[in-house]
Amino acid sequence: MADILVVDDDRDLAAALAEVLEDAGHTVRVAHDGWGGLKALDERLPDLVLLDIEMPSLDGPGMAHQMFVRDVGRDKIPILLVSAFMGLPAVARRIGTPYSAPKPCALDRLLRMVDRALVEKKPPEPRFEEPPARSQ
């Protein structure tokens, strides 16, 4: 099936997600913060990144930004945001990913979103906001 990287600081949840995805036939690696996720990308580019938003050290949006500005290829990996963050839709828009699922999420819904992302393979299209115009 697919190679999936799960990046979530909640170790129990990350392990549970990995188990569910492995049961669905995927190869899964886990990292517990954005820096660990970027290190995992250095080792091998996955087909999909499942990314939490709020994490210590380097959060999900920070990791996504680093994916855009680092080595070529990382910016082409679809990102599925999986988070309990109240502003999840706004962060998904800013990162430019059409794939997001709130925590907690029904497993069948999450697996459908994973399947959709793997079929569509739509990379993020970040929306960099223009700074407000200065008045003179």
**Domain assignment present for 106:** yes
Contacts within 8 Å (CB) and 24+ apart, 54-59: 54/9, 54/83, 54/84, 54/85, 55/7, 55/8, 55/9, 56/9, 57/33, 58/33, 58/34, 59/34
pLDDT tens-digit readout, 82-123: 999 999 999 999 999 999 999 998 999 999 999 999 999 999
**Domain assignment present for 105:** yes
* pTM for the whole structure: 0.90
pLDDT tens-digit readout, 39-55: 999 999 999 999 999 99
Which token pair is 32? 């517990």
Structural domain of residue 38, as residue ranges?
Answer: 3-120
**Domain assignment present for 125:** no
Instruction: Rounding to the nearest 10 degrees, give the CA dihedral for residues 65, 124, 53, 117.
Output: -150
Q: Which CATH number is 114's domain given?
A: 3.40.50.2300
